[in-house]
Amino acid sequence: MLLYIIKWLYAWILPMGGIVLALILLLCYMFRKHSPGRWALAVVTAVFYLLSIEPVSNGLIHPLETAYDQPQGTAVAGDVIVLLGGGSRAGVPDFDGTGQVGSAAANRFLMALRLQKAKDLPILLSGGTILEGDANESEIEKRMLLSLGVPENKIFMDDKSRNTAENAAFSKQICEHQGWTKPILVTSAFHMPRSVRFFTREGLDVTPYPCDYHTSAVTNWSGYSVVPQSFYLFNSCLAIKEYVGIDFGAITDDAEAVAAAKAQGVELAPAAEKTWGNALYACFDQKVEEKLIQPTFITMYPVEVSPLTKRSPADPRLTERFELFICHSELANAYSELNDPL
């Protein structure tokens, strides 16, 4: 018992726990001195802490991972295995070359390899180079498959795709050219719902084969569940991205934002101006809000839906506003009031 307590206390001085403790101490000082900005920092600290602990993180990502069951054994039927990329490392040494796949990609690769060995199906590797200097994931995986005894005539590559939408579009072209009509789709469980949407939109009748699970089927809470950890913060960020399906932070153009929202099946209200902020809010309203079960703070709303709120100094498209959601419902709404509207 003493050893467990020591480990629990030690976890609070590691980077994530230490950062939260430092923020709490700073907040205590700011509230004692009635410093301006203390409430905004309190909200940021609360959101950071909640997204970094196991109950909230698992509450966000577990519904994604259980959306599709994994077919048992070799019962799955199909005529090609489509393996979606999950990241790679450029220039690092490997057994028979350079470049390795990342951890998520490795789990996906292993599952696809086991399926290929069991079913003797062709395998389509979908994943290219995102940024200049990155490794080409499909080329790395092809080298690995060849070294593991998969015949070259069973390996096909889409080495151009940079995101899930392009995975689906380029895979469709290759499937049509090869005459494949029943792809078995292999990707991480949290990524499967969004992947299926994109492949279905392209007219492909896929059989989902999820893998690379981040949560357990059985919940086992402990004292560590309330200690902030980077793994859980990472999972929370993954889940939020999957629910929205768009990285709005990387979009700067209004028309591109509206088009990206439409690609997710999100339509702006007829009276809404076609802007980046309205597209972001529509995606949240239609895709994310209904998923918020655990206590969750949503911060920095777009200017378009927060006209009386101060703008964020970090991004003038957003505001200093937060809302608290529990069980799909908004329970609190607060913001820094705009005291100079003119």
What's the whole-number mean pLDDT along residues 221-229? Answer: 82
Amino acid at 20: V
pLDDT > 90: percent of the chain: 31
Which pLDDT score, from 0 to 100, does residue 150 have? 94
Amino acid at 170: F
Q: At 130, is the pLDDT very low, low, confident or very high (cuts 50, 70, 90)?
A: confident
- DSSP string for 211-240: E--SS-SS----GGGGS--HHHHHHHHHHH
For tokens 């789990």, the residue is 107
Which pLDDT score, from 0 to 100, does residue 4 have? 67
**Do 189 and 63 touch, CB atoms closer than 8 A?**
no
Mean pLDDT of the chain: 86
Amino acid at 202: E
In the predicted structure, residue 189 carries a pLDDT above the cut 60: yes
- 117, two tokens: 């060995």
Which pLDDT score, from 0 to 100, does residue 86 have? 86
Q: At 187, is the pLDDT very low, low, confident or very high (cuts 50, 70, 90)?
A: very high
- CB neighbours of residue 337 within 10 Å: 10
Q: What is the pLDDT of residues 263-304, one digit of tens each?
A: 667 888 888 899 989 998 998 888 888 878 778 888 889 999
Q: Which residues contact 214 (CB under 8 A, 6 or more apart)?
A: 61, 65, 188, 189, 190, 235, 238
Q: At 243, is the pLDDT very low, low, confident or very high (cuts 50, 70, 90)?
A: confident
The β-bridge partners of 325 are: 296, 330
The β-bridge partners of 339 are: none
Which pLDDT score, from 0 to 100, does residue 148 have? 94
Residues of the chain by 3-state class (helix, strand, coil), percent to 5: 50, 15, 35
Which pLDDT score, from 0 to 100, does residue 202 have? 87
What's the whole-number mean pLDDT along residues 229-242? Answer: 83
Give CA angle at 115 (110, 118), nearest 5°. 125
pLDDT > 70: percent of the chain: 95
In the predicted structure, residue 122 carries a pLDDT above the cut 90: yes
- 317, two tokens: 């498209």
Which pLDDT score, from 0 to 100, does residue 40 have? 87
What's the whole-number mean pLDDT along residues 10-19? Answer: 80
Which pLDDT score, from 0 to 100, does residue 113 have? 95
129 vs 112, residue with greater confidence: 112
Instruction: Give the 3-state secondary structure of 117-185.
Output: HHHCCCEEEECCCCCCCCCCHHHHHHHHHHHCCCCHHHEEEECCCCCHHHHHHHHHHHHHHHCCCCEEE
What's the whole-number mean pLDDT along residues 42-48? Answer: 88
What's the whole-number mean pLDDT along residues 73-95? Answer: 87
Q: At 107, is the pLDDT very low, low, confident or very high (cuts 50, 70, 90)?
A: very high
Tell the burial category of 143 from Cβ atoms under 10 Å away from its Cβ (0-12, 13-18, 19+): middle
Amino acid at 79: D
